[in-house]
Amino acid sequence: MSIAGIQQFFQRMLEPPQLQRRQVTLELAVAALLCEIMRADYEHDPLEKALLRELLTARLHVSAEEVEELMALAEAEVEQAVDHYEFVSLIREQYGYEDRVALVAQMWQLAFADGELDALEEHRVRRLADLLYVSHSDFIRTKLEAMPVR
């Protein structure tokens, strides 16, 4: 190994962790947006976490172990993210309109998981639906469909 190669190796090893971020996958982007809804009201409800586990397993067709790892990664990504651009843009590129609407429907399911809709959760779903280019009529329709029957 040359001296330049050794220097490059040590430069990579000494980089701050935020500069060593990996490329975000579609699965991680979906999990991150769903985690955003789960934590929007600043409460850690076990019902929401269980539903998130179910939604990710069904949507992404992955094992329980993979879902746990994905959820941990998504929560870490959401904690560090300045905005949602990286997640939203990847989803817009990879998902057709109907898939994005289905994702917004899942956001509503998470928001209603604890039996009530917090204003912060509603605001977060609205904002993400706008960023995903989901029409207002589909935003409202998916909300009404996800509302618990009383």
Stretch 120-145: mean pLDDT: 96
Alpha helices, H only, the chain: 3-14, 26-38, 46-60, 64-80, 85-94, 97-112, 119-131, 136-146
Residue 86 in this model has a pLDDT that exceeds 60? yes
What is the pTM for the complete model shown? 0.79
Superfamily of domain 23-146: TerB-like (1.10.3680.10)
Report pLDDT for 135: 97
Q: Is it the case that residue 21 has pLDDT exceeding 50? A: no
Q: Is the pLDDT of residue 56 over 70?
A: yes
Could you tell me the residue ranges of all domains in the chain?
23-146
The single residue listed with the structure tokens 């980089």 is 15
Mean local confidence (pLDDT), 27-56 = 89
High-pLDDT (> 70) share of the chain, %:
84
Mean pLDDT, range 75-96, rounded to an integer: 88
Neighbours of 142 (CB within 10 A): 22
Q: Which of residues 136 and 64 earns the better pLDDT score?
A: 136
Whether the predicted pLDDT of 114 surpasses 90: no
Task: Compute the average pLDDT of residues 7-20.
Answer: 53
